[in-house]
Amino acid sequence: MSSSLPLLSLIVFVPWVGALVLLFAPKLGAWSVRVLALAFSLSTLALAGIALCRFDPSAAGYQFAEGHDWITSLNVHFRLGLDGLSLVLLLLTGILGPLSMLASWRQENNPRLLNLLFLLLQGAALGVFLALDFVPWFLFWELSLVPAYFLIRLWGGPGATRAAYQFVIYTIGGSAFMLLGFAALFLATGTLDFTVLSGLASSGALATKLAALGGIWPNAVFFGILLGLAVKVPLFPFHTWLPSAYAEAPTGASMFLTGVMSKMGVYGFLRILWPLFPAALHRFAPGLLWLAVGGVVFGAFAAMKQTDLKRMVAYSSVNHVSYCLLGLFAVCSLSRPSPDAATAALTGTILQMFNHGISAGALFFCVGVLEARAGGRRGIGDFGGVRTWAPLFAGLCGISMFSSIGLPGLNGFVGEFLIFRGVWGLVPWAAAVSCLGLFATAYFLLTFWQRVFHGPKAGASESRFADLTGIETATLAPLVGLMFVFGILPQLLTVLINPLVTSWVAHLALP
Amino acid sequence: MNALPCTIYISFTGALLSLAVGRRSPGLARAVALASALTAWGIALFAAFKFVPDAAGPVSLVDYPWIPQMGIRYHLAADGISLTLVVLTGLAATAGVLFSWNVEQRTGEFFAFFLALIGGVYGVFLSADAFLFFVFYEIAIVPKYFLIAIWGSTNREYGAMKLVLYSFAGSALVLAGILWAYAAGGAHSFAVADMAQAAVGFSHGQQVWMFALVFLGFAVLAGMFPFHTWAPTGHVAAPTAASMLLAGVVMKLGAYGCLRVAMPLFPVGFLFWQPMIFWLAVIGIIYAGLIALVQEDFKFVIGYSSVSHMGFVLLGLAAANVRAVSGAVLQMFSHGVIAGLLFAVVGRMVYDRTHTRKLADLRAMSLYKRLPFAATVFVLAGLASMGMPGFSGFPAELTILIGTWQTAPWAAVLAAVGVLVAAAFTLRVIQVSFFGHADTAKAAVDVAPLPPITLAEKCGALLLLGATILIGLKPDLLLELIRPALQTPYFQAVLKGGAL
């Protein structure tokens, strides 16, 4: 499937070219900046469309692979490749990137820098989903923090300084130990290529080579890499940076952070930690499973306790992303998982990554709409009876909530259902406890719905509340549309990942 | 290649010329300084491009007897390590001249001292004779004092005195160690290769104490904990170009001395002290980083960050395998560029305009709106300093980490903590210095418009930024120079693990 066009490099670098164009065009007016940035951002979706057309859905391996020598002294190659998992996330990024820009359309404070940062962030996220060698992967992984930091810091709420600082320091803290882990892997194997390393791991050679470090060090390597990924997802209890970062970020950035950046962590689990350390992950999965269940339950109950709507949605993200890890850890915790259940859980995990991106992005946008109309207030008690003022907004927001709750027919249902279906067959207690999270999610989202959209008109929506503007509708409606599309036709996505999941399940048995 | 010694002569000639023309026309003195710095840098770059590594050791450039009675020769030689540092010196010198374009007070003398310092530094990096090495080393100390004491700022007399006393104390230790080795060896030669040969016959005790003297003497200049306190004080007191050069290049003299003289001469002594050096290196990384985290003076943050980054160099040296040491040399280059950039932003772009370095005052100014260029440069330099991939600090730290795993995994873990601390203090200072909220803090300073960033400043900043990004993306350019030099017989006794 080699093609003369370096499609993947284009996907990654076109947004960065766009950022450069904005950098060197200081005289552009606000509208031209926005349109130009949006065009560059949409390139991802267009190019992902090309990739989708040429993608061979029956193959499990990497397609459109590209490789260039980069740093010979460290045996580093600039390698990109695309499989079903990357493609799904590519589409997610292609959808959420432009929409987060649209969500910030009305931002009058330095729109050039704002859009430039969005483009940088989008390019970095795409690089993470496509890189096949640690050094380029880590480059994109770390560089994504920079635009995210400035988006939160410069356009965020009153607590943004502290939130942005905490966000970056937590993530870099994790990354430092991940870097350390990869330094040890390089020492043991002389390569940092994910495909080579996972080949070594599946034959058991990697574990043998690492064991040469002696003592506690092989496990330290595993936990170093685990920590870097766990902070990013975040896995309970490394989530403490998340609520303030998401809540203080401007709406568009919150959408991208929760929709795409949290997936970078889950992606790392699937692409790096699991293939490289199947035995270690198996050994520690029972403990990690507790943490994932903790995230599901605690995230939902913490959301229930919030009065700030944005923090509520932020905590609900902790809950939703934990489902992904729940699925993965349940599969890893057994030495001979049933193939059916494992397939369901892993398919569910990937679908949940996509679907949570859509629903959480929409919910953050809805909270952003409320906040914009109420002059920055977003307490649950600051609103009431919004539905009568703004029926369109109420309708779209309601659908997003039900998608998040997991109503059948909407996209959120599919992933969660498959994860529960799989986990029931693998580790029943974990599924049972996690149900608490489902109930709590339904409770707090319905409370949100009732208090804000129904009831007597109150607070910021007492005298008037404008319905969605054209731009706002253009932001929210596509997301809601996708909720229906992927709720009714989940096979549109599963067809892309089926061969991949099948090959994962076929190689589940440990060496 | 054969023109390399000219870097020394050009710098000293430039110093004399700029002194001569300075009284009549400061502009001419600037031009002379820029021309000599650029020429020397050009020669260094050309030599680095044309360089063919020699498996036997450094390529000899000039070799004349100087004081034959004592076996002292005027012997200059270069290998990949010295070339890397010579290129760094040329870069830092050029950028330093650009960032001192606004020096109006005794311009000619300023550039004369500046170029003399550069000449001494070139001499150190090219010397193959221990005595000659020492002479150039001492030559470099004197101009430092005058640069700080005459053109410095806060507490300059104290800073200059402290810095010079530490330097002299360090060099006294070095001299004592070298003379002892010379006397005990009886080889009647100061050539480092001969001295290393002679040192093989020393007793364990002799090796241990000779190494201690020489290494400690050099490590003081490299800012090793707990002998680092002169560095922040001195660098803060110095004028911008001198801070850039002192932190960027002169600290490397110490590390270079450790690598070129102390370690290969006394491998047995090194082994004895290795655990100690590991500890001091990681303590230095973390401790200096924590101190930087709580500084209230913008320039002190940068001063302490230099100590923390030099800890990585020492860590790489302590690990004593080819990979770690090549990382350490790369880190010397990288830190030279980044420290130069950071000091340039703090000292020239910010302090010369706002006349304050207190973070509390800067916080109230929202400088990113008023000096967007400086803010961008500082953010990029800060990212480089944090070890972000894409900048030169990353390949250096990664190489050091890999090499350290090989020798001492626990030290690698502590170094990773150091990376985190570096991120914390860098991000804090970025946040407070440039991105403070004008409304939240007390408006201590009036909001008169600040003078715009000059062309010279832009050129200097782009030069240094370009270097850190180029090496960040293509570290092979330097690693392939450095690595063969470490695989020569000269380093074999002390460095383990020659292969990948």
Domain boundaries of chain B, sorted by first residue: 5-492
- Residue A25 sits at the vertex; the CA angle it makes with A23 and A29, to the nearest 5 degrees, is 115
Test B417 with A187 for CB contact under 8 angstroms. no
Q: Is the pLDDT of residue B23 over 90?
A: no
Specify the pLDDT at position A1: 43
- From chain A, the residues in CB contact with B415 under 8 A are 180
CA distances from B63 to A56, A275, B2, B46, B260 (A): 67, 58, 12, 22, 18
Average pLDDT of the residues of chain B: 88
Specify the pLDDT at position B316: 93
User: Which of A212-221, A428-437, B206-215, B383-392 bottoms out in mean pLDDT, i.e. has the lowest?
Assistant: A212-221
By DSSP bridging, strand A63-71 and strand B72-78 are unpaired
**What pTM was estimated for this model as a whole?**
0.92
pLDDT-based confidence at B500, cuts 50/70/90? Answer: very low
Q: Is the pLDDT of residue B450 over 70?
A: yes
Category of A310 on φ-ψ map: left (φ > 0), alpha (ψ -120 to 50) or beta? alpha
ipTM of this complex prediction, to 2 decimal places:
0.89
- From chain A, the residues in CB contact with B419 under 8 A are 172, 176, 179
Specify the pLDDT at position B448: 67
Test A146 with B383 for CB contact under 8 angstroms. yes
Residue A371 lies in a domain: yes
Specify the pLDDT at position B469: 94
CA distances from B431 to A37, A162, B16, B382 (A): 27, 10, 43, 11
CA distance B196 to chain A (A): 29
CA distance B461 to chain A (A): 17
Q: Shortest CA distance to A369 belongs to which of A436, A457, A468, A296?
A: A468
Of A135, A153, A165, the CB nearest to B389: A135
- From chain A, the residues in CB contact with B483 under 8 A are 73
Q: Does A157 touch chain B (CB under 8 A)?
A: no
Residue A366 lies in a domain: yes
User: Model confidence over B109-134: pLDDT tens digits?
Assistant: 899 999 999 999 999 999 999 899 99
Q: Does A187 touch chain B (CB under 8 A)?
A: yes
In percent, the amount of chain B with pLDDT more than 90 equals 44
The strand pairing partners of B127, in sequence order, are B76
CA distances from A80 to A64, A86, A136, A476, B472 (A): 8, 11, 9, 32, 20
Specify the pLDDT at position A119: 94
- From chain B, the residues in CB contact with A117 under 8 A are none
Q: CA nearest A171 in B: which residue?
A: B420
CA distance A184 to chain B (A): 6
Q: Is the pLDDT of residue B201 over 60?
A: yes
CA distance A41 to chain B (A): 23
Q: CA nearest A186 in B: which residue?
A: B402
Residue A508 lies in a domain: yes
Question: What residues make up the domain containing A419?
Answer: 277-511
Of B398, B435, B475, the CB nearest to A183: B398
Q: CA nearest A178 in B: which residue?
A: B416
Residue A181 lies in a domain: no
Q: Give SS3 for B462.
A: helix
Residue A291 lies in a domain: yes
Test A73 with B475 for CB contact under 8 angstroms. yes
Test A176 with B416 for CB contact under 8 angstroms. yes
pLDDT-based confidence at B442, cuts 50/70/90? Answer: very low
Specify the pLDDT at position B498: 40
Specify the pLDDT at position B444: 47
Contacts of A222 (CB under 8 A, 6+ apart): A181, A273, A277, A280, A281, A284
Q: Does A138 touch chain B (CB under 8 A)?
A: yes
Best residue in B293, B379, B388, B483 to probe A by mutation, most A CBs within 10 Å?
Answer: B388
pLDDT tens-place values along chain A, 511 residues long:
445 678 888 899 999 998 999 888 878 888 888 898 899 999 999 999 998 888 888 888 888 888 888 888 888 899 999 998 999 999 999 999 999 999 988 888 888 889 999 999 999 999 999 999 999 999 999 999 999 999 998 888 888 888 899 999 999 999 999 999 999 999 888 889 998 998 888 888 888 888 888 788 888 899 999 999 999 988 988 888 898 888 888 999 999 999 999 999 999 999 999 999 988 898 899 999 999 999 999 999 999 999 898 999 999 999 999 999 999 999 998 888 888 888 999 999 999 999 999 999 999 999 998 888 888 888 888 888 888 888 898 899 999 999 998 888 898 899 899 999 999 988 999 999 998 988 999 999 998 888 888 888 887 777 888 888 888 888 899 999 999 999 899 888 888 888 888 888 888 766 5
Cα A353 to Cα A317: distance, rounded to the nearest angstrom: 11
CA distance A443 to chain B (A): 39
Rg (CA), chain B: 21
pLDDT-based confidence at B344, cuts 50/70/90? Answer: very high
By DSSP bridging, strand A76-82 and strand A63-71 are antiparallel
Cα B181 to Cα B195: distance, rounded to the nearest angstrom: 7
**Total tally of structural domains belonging to chain A:** 1
Best residue in A69, A169, A172, A182 to probe B by mutation, most B CBs within 10 Å?
Answer: A172
b/e map A437-471, b = 16+ CB within 10 Å? bbebbbebbeebbebbbeeebebbbeeebeebeee
Is residue B196 within 8 A of residue B490, CB to CB? The reply is yes
Specify the pLDDT at position B489: 83
Residue A13 lies in a domain: no
CA distance B475 to chain A (A): 7
Residue A56 lies in a domain: no
CA distance B209 to chain A (A): 33
Specify the pLDDT at position B447: 62
